[in-house]
Amino acid sequence: MFRAGRNHPPGAWQRKFNRLVAKQRWIIGQSFGTLKGLFHGGRARYIMREKAEAELTLKAEAMNLLKAANRIDLVAA
């Protein structure tokens, strides 16, 4: 993303690039925000790489299951 400087606005191609990137960037940002907010995905509890990788994989799977459940719209009867 290109940012404007003091008394130096971005050019036309930079604005177009920013718009194109923003259309895809929000999807990734929303996913990481959900992962960090609901499942504390920004920090691993373990030091060993294998355990940390397993923990983050489980958190990612839990997030995907939550998204799937919301799409199915499960209603408790």
**pLDDT (tens digit, 9 = 90+) per residue, 39-49?**
887 777 778 88
User: Is the per-residue pLDDT at 72 higher than 60?
Assistant: yes
Distance CA(41)–CA(44), nearest Å, equals 7
pLDDT bucket at 74, cuts 50 / 70 / 90 = low
Which pLDDT belongs to residue 37? Answer: 84
User: Is the per-residue pLDDT at 30 higher than 90?
Assistant: no
pTM more than 0.95: no
Rg of the chain over all Cα atoms, to the nearest angstrom:
19
Residue ranges in the chain assigned as alpha helix (H): 12-39, 49-72
Distance CA(25)–CA(10), nearest Å, equals 19
Which pLDDT belongs to residue 12? Answer: 93
